Chains A and B, each alone.
Chain A
Amino acid sequence: MILLQLIINGLLLGGVYVLISIGLTLIFGVVRVINFAHGELLMISMYISYFAYAMLGLHPYASILISVPFMFIIGMVIDRIIIKPLREAPSYMQIFVTVGLSIALLNMALFLFTGDYQSINLPLAKKTINAGSLSISYARVVIFLTSLAVSAGLFLFLKKTDIGKQIRAIAQDRMAAQLVGINLNKLYTLSFGIGSALVAIAGALILPIYYVFPSVGSYFVLTAFVVVVLGGLGNTMGAILGGFIIGVADSLSGYYIDPSLKELVYFIIFLVVLLIRPSGLMGIVGAEEMGLK
């Protein structure tokens, strides 16, 4: 029974990771930039939802109406101003610039909001669903279901809509996509916006159960990297698989090994995956060698 509870906890936690990682992997898959400031985008979203609650009394789930459009625009602005001039630059320049963005955003938050941990006290956070001896957090079930819904939505968007098809075309072959008349820059910017908007959903949904503080992003972003590399950088379905695997690994190792060593477990999984199959579980083999042109 403990095992079942642990696996359920792991899957629910995996939902959190999926929701946070899916935007990161979309941005990488399309724009080919590893956004080191992804964690800070999460942090900003959480603060938006936090202030919407603290000042306007808006329920975090409702604050998505504000934070999603806001982050969508922020994402597009970041791409236009910072990433676009470096599109053709070597990858280390893109890494440096997003690292710089991450440092700047994190410390701007530290300056504006101080380093204090903030949380909202919602009865929702403590609500559980009990089935037999199993106890399941209500807020986490919401996250879990949303992560599935968001993944399905993104999948349908990429599969069915014209823009989605164009985005997939770019992800597969930039050059060919350009040759058939797809406006690359427009879609890069759009994808960056969508990736950031997806983080906003994560930010709002995890607010009831996590503290918000300026460096909350750095706490999550490393896990997000593990998740997306495990699934295959750029592969949205891979991010879902990776998220659930890491969630379950986290939950099991926290119980059976040691709570303080669970991070070690998934960093070791991360290294092993990078070394044995750097393309990830669902990525294209060889992508990491070709440098993904």
Chain B
Amino acid sequence: MKLRGKNQIKVYATIGSILIFIGLVFVSTNSFYLNILFTIFMFAGISSAWNIIGGFAGQLSLGHSAFYGLGAYTCGLLLVKLGIPPILGIWASIILASLLAIIIGYPCFRLRGPFFTLATIAVGEVLLILAVNMKTVTAGSEGLSIPFHPSLYNLSFQTKTPYALLGLLFMLISLSAAYIIKKTRLGYELVALRDEDQAAESLGVNTTRAKIVALIISAAITALGGGIYAQYVLFLEPHSEFSLATSVNFAMISMVGGLGTLMGPVIGAFILIPLQEFLRAWLGGASQGLYFFIYGVLLILVVMFMPQGIIHFCARPFNKLMQRFSLPEEEFPSHIGTLYEARQVLTKNKQLVTNDMPNEEILKVESVSKRFGGITAVNNVSLSVRKGEILGIIGPNGAGKSTLFNLLSGVYKPDSGLIIYNGITISEIHKSHIICRLGIGRTFQIVKPFENITVLENVMVGSFCRTNSVQKAKRLALELISIAGLMEKKDYICHSLTLADKKRLEVARALATQPTILLLDEVMAGLTTSEVEEAIKWIRMIRELGITIIVVEHVMQAIMSLSDRIMVMAEGKKIAEGPPAEIIHNPLVIKAYLGDEYETPSA
């Protein structure tokens, strides 16, 4: 593999820091320092594992002590009761924790925000109570002593140096896992679902699966850490292994270092663990609580004044240093901007259109209804969409247009009626990511960009719908960004974009999923006249690629000039359908928009 520029420096920096860590271990002869180093490595590793689900995916778990304690107890008990050496026992820890992750993941991930956090706390507490009460197995609150037979198989050693090296190895394993996740499709999916769950689903991300996979990896590494730690302390006690405080500690190290970043947990551990150990040593027992008081205050200050963590302060000088080397930027294939790749992947539909019968029906909606409480948002609507056409949907506010889109894209399941796409009854599916994968892409009326990642990364999330390769995803994304005219802003973090840019971004992102049908929900609302004109051109160009388009729009002049056909909705019902020229004079439409007084008797 050829390394270039920044990457080369990063590789050197990584190797350099590993050597420094190893050096630190061998320089420290004092067991006090070795203990600190071991603890730093272990906590950095476990917190990094927590960060995969808590940071990358934004699912704040305060129940990771469940995995940690399970790992520690499994490994310890296998040795004590069955004489199985921990080097094998840790695999049992990993497997059991992964199973626990699956069991609690499915139900808990249905919950959002604080509710998820509360559920994870409860899981931790349940395990704590079980560990206390299953005295015959765990020895309960008295604690479980693990016999000390130093050997590599037992992962326990006479001196502390090998422990520190083992801790370092563990940290590197955990960081590598986090690195691989971050740099591959799963990492992009996690960050996307953290920012906008529904938008991620609409781009083909199976959010539940992504979260479960992340939780399994996180749990497995945490349990491995617990198993190794058990062989170091050689004494397990439910109230320390399974406590809420332990879970909070894992989370806090990442938070202080930098939530959702790769190196944040390491930085957090290097600051908090020595602080803990030194304060404990200096202040001694005389000032019980003082250390944790400082710890708590520090957490408050970090959240309030540097929510991005301490890494944020390290990042700027580091980036400056990088710029000093004035390294060449990553190179992209020269055909970017000529739409080479985009045309190749997107025009596949066009051939279908020309080869097959023209006017072939691609989407059929049969008397679909959707009720919310007493309101029938969509009432017995039928509709047929032909390949390659642009269908406009208009109607006053509350006519049910967006609800219809949500039915088509699987956000809602219709109460009655059928939606058939390409011969598949998609109204039965009710899962946005599957509908997207089948070829229906969409944008949202209220834009839902992934706010905290760059424009490029936003579009890449869409590309991952059809590919696992980061390179391919990036190439397609760049091409679509250039069509969208966002090339100069590709590295901007999304929340800094204007509304017009965000709308363009959403279209580019939906296109990246390589849809056959594209649902555009008011992409022109709030745009200036010249922006509207640009958008019209752009939508026509998308159609030229062979993509069928359904547009919901309030900007009349735009929809009249764009659409081949227009459907009019009012109060959930379809009131008219036909070519734009006809619709404009339809008395029912005029009535729906302007009220009874304007009804023209002549029509």
Interface residues of A (CB under 8 A from B): 34, 82, 85-86, 89-93, 95-97, 99-111, 114-115, 214, 218, 222, 225-226, 229, 233, 258, 260-261, 263-264, 267-268, 270-271, 274-275, 278, 288-289, 291-292
Contacts and interface: CB of A to CB of B under 8 A. Distances in A.
Given A100-B300, A100-B303, A267 B125 contact: yes
B287 interface: yes
Given A91-B113, A96-B299, A100-B297, A107 B292 contact: yes
B60 to A, nearest CB: 4
10 closest Cβ pairs, A-B complex: A110-B289, A104-B296, A100-B299, A103-B296, A107-B292, A111-B289, A107-B289, A107-B293, A100-B300, A91-B113
Given A99-B248, A104-B293, A261-B129, A275 B300 contact: no
B292 A264 contact: no
A286 to B, nearest CB: 11
A95 B58 CA distance: 13
B112 interface: yes
Nearest to A279: B115
Given A95-B117, A261-B133, A275-B119, 18 more contacts: A34-B117, A92-B58, A92-B60, A92-B113, A95-B60, A95-B62, A96-B60, A100-B299, A101-B296, A103-B299, A105-B296, A107-B290, A107-B296, A258-B133, A271-B107, A271-B123, A274-B115, A275-B111
Given A100-B297, A103-B292, A86 B126 contact: no
B272 to A, nearest CB: 12
Nearest to A92: B60
B331 to A, nearest CB: 37
A218 B298 CA distance: 20
B114 A95 contact: yes
Contacts of B291: 107
9 contacts: A92-B117, A105-B296, A106-B296, A107-B293, A108-B293, A214-B289, A225-B121, A260-B132, A271-B126
A274 B300 contact: no
A85 B303 CA distance: 10
Interface of B: 54, 58, 60, 62, 107-108, 110-115, 117-119, 121-123, 125-126, 129-130, 132-133, 244, 248, 251-252, 255, 287-293, 295-300, 303-304, 307
A290 to B, nearest CB: 8
A270 B122 contact: yes
Contact of B111 (A100, A214, A226, A278): A278
Contacts of A214: 289
B107 A275 contact: yes
Contacts of B122: 226, 267, 270-271, 274
Contact of A111 (B112, B115, B117, B293): B293
Contacts of B125: 222, 263, 267
A114 B110 CA distance: 42
Given A99-B248, A225-B121, A91 B303 contact: no
A194 B477 CA distance: 52
A82 B303 CA distance: 10
A33 B147 CA distance: 46
B293 A291 contact: no
A85 B298 CA distance: 16
B149 to A, nearest CB: 33
Contacts of A275: 107-108, 110-111, 119
Nearest to A115: B288
Given A82-B304, A95-B60, A110 B288 contact: yes
A114 B287 CA distance: 9
Contacts of B252: 96, 99-100
A106 B291 CA distance: 11
B300 A229 contact: no
A102 B248 CA distance: 11
Given A114-B288, A267-B125, A97 B304 contact: yes
A263 B58 CA distance: 29
A34 B132 CA distance: 28
Contacts of A93: 303, 307
Nearest to B129: A264
A111 B293 CA distance: 8
Given A89-B307, A99-B248, A114-B288, A264 B115 contact: no
B103 to A, nearest CB: 11
A174 to B, nearest CB: 16
A103 B115 contact: no
A138 to B, nearest CB: 32
A93 B58 CA distance: 11
Contacts of A85: 304
A193 to B, nearest CB: 19
Contacts of B107: 271, 275
Contacts of A225: 118, 121
Contacts of B133: 258, 260-261, 264
A101 B112 contact: no
Nearest to B104: A271
Most buried by B among A95, A99, A101: A99
Nearest to B60: A92
A115 B285 CA distance: 12
Contacts of A114: 288
A226 B122 CA distance: 9
B133 to A, nearest CB: 6
A285 B346 CA distance: 42
Contacts of B299: 96-97, 99-100, 103-104
A97 B129 CA distance: 27
Contacts of B290: 107, 111
Contacts of A233: 115
Contacts of B58: 90, 92
Given A34-B118, A263-B125, A288 B111 contact: yes
B295 A103 contact: yes
A144 to B, nearest CB: 26
Contacts of A218: 244
